[in-house]
Structure 1
């Protein structure tokens, strides 16, 4: 089974985090090395930082690509749950139409009563 967009999003964000940590380590190493070995070490560290930051950007972009699809998956799941709820309510109404009418009438009466009493204050 192929990974979902949400899983891909998490994977790429994790990869971006790893690259960012590596960039921070490379920057720390570059600073430490610069005090001891000066210019050459600093240039190598700078190149490593740039490479890791570039990888971070690429991983972030890949995660962003999956972000929209992951959001669509979540909306689709919510829509399916909503449809199931409506279908369940429709089935209940078909099975017990009088009870359903009574509940709806009572709820309407209660809402109207609450609305009228709220305006008196």
Structure 2
């Protein structure tokens, strides 16, 4: 893995359930891990959904392997990059060689 290609900073957030002062439970995204990544596979696509144009961009991030990154899954984590949020659709451990992890993501609809 060429370290020089890890040129963008991303933040991975985790979805946790928090309880407020009166006992209400709510989902909240908290920062989990910040690292440098390689961005690849950018594919922009716009669709019309219910009369509005929706951006369904797909992007891949490749990060270095570490114990924290090895715990990532597609249901409890998301990526923040360039002020945009991306849902993790798939986590590829690259043949489990413990060198890098590839995150296939799609832009969050808001």
TM-score by length of 2: 0.21
Larger Rg over CA atoms: 1
* Structure in which a larger fraction of residues adopt strand: 2
- Structure 1 length as normaliser, TM-score? 0.20
